[in-house]
Each structure stands twice: as structure tokens, then as C-alpha cells.
Structure 1
Amino acid sequence: MTDMFVSLGTWNWLIFGLILMGLELLTPGVFLFWLGLAAFLAGLLSFAFDPAWQTQILMFAVFAVAAVPLWRRMARAKPGAADSPFLNKRADALVGRVFTLEKPIVDGSGTVRIDDTIWRVTGPDAPAGSRVKVVKADGARLTVAAA
């Protein structure tokens, strides 16, 4: 076993890093990429100076442990940076828009047609054809006010 560690060379680390990065293509999660990067860095530093096998393993371990917080920081979502902030929140995208009532709001309940969908609305009583502004979305029910 010691002979295997003693024979660790720069090329072995580089190949190991490339293999781990290649395996990342087959498995989801981006975890193996960071381990591959750690092995690749250990190999590159082994080119610069010829460390003992213990130092090479220590370099790999340090790089692998340092990669975890770096990965978490990069993976953390940036607020407001989403391409589609209303994906799976279709009703929230309607807040602030103005529509025409299809059926009157009677006793606080009515309907409005938006594109190809009829939405239930709540708000102050208003006749059909009135313009209303969506002020709140709660599931499939919209709260409206006179526009």
C-alpha cells in the first residue's frame, strides 16, 4: 500500500482530477467536480515542486475541504437573479395588472377572464365590464380593487 502512495506522481493526480470531473458529467450534484479540481490543483502544485507523497495527499485533503465552503457560496441563490421569478407562481405575476370583470362582483365574489383562464376574484361589489386592479393573489383567488 505504501508503494502505491510513494508512486503517486503529478500525472496520477492530474488524471485522477480529470476522471472525477468526467464522472461529474454522469452524476448530478456538482460534488465530484470540486474533488476533481482539488486533485487537479494537487497535481499542478506537484509540477512546481516535488513534494513527498504525504504532502501530496495533505494538499489534496486541504483543497477538497476548502472546496466545500467555496461550492456552497457559489451554489447559494442570489435573490432577484432568477430568470423566471414567477415560475410556479402564476397568480403572483398578476398582482398590479388591470383586467375587465367578466361576471359582476356580488357579495364580494366574481370572475375575470385572463387569457384563456377564468379566475375567481374577491373585492368590493362592481358591475360586469368594470376595470379592476389585482392587489393580492392567494392561491387561485385574486383580490381586486377598482382601477
Structure 2
Amino acid sequence: MSLIESTIEALGPWSWFVLGLILLGLEILAPGTIFLWFGLSALVVGLVSLVFDFAWQIDVSLFLVLSLASLLIGRRLMQRLASEKGDPGLNQRGSRYVGREFTLAAPLSEGAGNLSIDDTIWRITGPDLPAGTKVRVESIDGARLVVRAAE
């Protein structure tokens, strides 16, 4: 009998708690909520093993079933939570300004110019317009805002 087998046999149901803590530790090192579900399943099997004296085959089967079920339910839950939170325009800051109106501080000539919004100066494209004209942001084109005169 190897050292690992004798250790698992000596620990009995507590080996599931050790496995669960190792898997939860792996979750910290490699985040992605994969090891979390396996670790929680191992802890549940450890609790069940303390109460009921099942054969190791039943413990392993219970672990596999719980792991699969918790993984599927957990993934669905995480996707639902992720879709409810967050900023969809986080990586496209300019998309936050589409539909908003601003006043040009400098003229828009030859189809290009600049527009100061909050603490950022944006490059803009659109028809030639004099300074002081109200413009509406229509879309974004890369890092440029596409504007037109507001009605």
C-alpha cells in the first residue's frame, strides 16, 4: 500500500475535507469558479461520510454527481449574475456618448476636429461646423466620435 493510500485510509471521511480545502485553495490560485464547485462538493461528501458509513465507491459516485450538478447550477447562476451587472460600454467609452448633445468649442473643419467632454478631448468627424454649434454624437468610429449638427 502506498503512502497516499494509507493516508487516505487513516483519515477516513476527513480525507474529503482535505480534498475540499485543496480544491478551494486551487480556486484561489487559478480563479475561474471551476475548482470552487468541486471543492464544495468534496466538503459535502465529507459531511455525509461523517454521518453515514458508505463504501468508498459510493462516496466517489456521490462526489461525481454533486460536482457535476454544482458545476452546472453554479455556471448558470454565475452567467445570470454577470449579465445583470457590469458596464456594457466599459471597453468602448465613446459609446456612452452616442445620442448626447454637446457644444463645439472649436470649429469642425475639413471633416475633423476636437470636442472636449468632461476631462477628455475626443477627436470627432462630421460636416464642417462653426464653433458654438450644438452637435449630437451619432456613432463611434474606432477612437473617433461621429457627430452631426443637433436640431
Distance 1:117 1:15, change over 3 A: closer
Contact 2:139 2:146 in 1 (8 A): yes
- Please say if 1:79 is aligned against 2:83: yes
- SS, match of residue 28 in structure 2: helix
Indicate the residue corresponding to 1:101 in structure 2.
104
Instruction: Render the CA deviation track for 1:54-110: whole Å, top value 9, x for unaligned.
Output: 11111112222223322322332643521x333221111111222121332334333
In 2: Cα distance, 1:61 partner to 1:128 partner? 68
Contact 1:8 1:53 in 2 (8 A): no
In 2: Cα distance, 1:29 partner to 1:126 partner? 50
Give the alignment's Cα RMSD to 1 decimal: 2.6
Indicate the residue corresponding to 2:16 in structure 1.
13
Q: TM-score, normalization: structure 2?
A: 0.77
Instruction: Render the CA deviation track for 1:90-145: whole Å, top value 9, x for unaligned.
Output: 11111122212133233433332223433232233321111111121122211222
Contact 2:94 2:143 in 1 (8 A): yes
- SS, match of residue 102 in structure 1: coil
Indicate the residue corresponding to 2:40 in structure 1.
37
Structure ranking higher in strand proportion: 1
- Please say if 1:50 is aligned against 2:25: no
Contact 1:91 1:138 in 2 (8 A): no
**Aligned-partner residue type, residue 118 of structure 2:** D
Indicate the residue corresponding to 2:62 in structure 1.
59
* Misfit runs of 4+, over 4 Å: 1-8
In 2: Cα distance, 1:56 partner to 1:89 partner? 49
Q: How many residue pairs align between the two structures?
A: 146
- Structure 2 portions without partners, runs of 5+: none
- SS, match of residue 86 in structure 1: coil
Contact 2:45 2:59 in 1 (8 A): yes
In 1: Cα distance, 2:12 partner to 2:36 partner? 21
Structure ranking higher in helix proportion: 2
**1:40: how far off?**
0.9
**Aligned-partner residue type, residue 24 of structure 2:** M
- Structure 1 portions without partners, runs of 5+: none
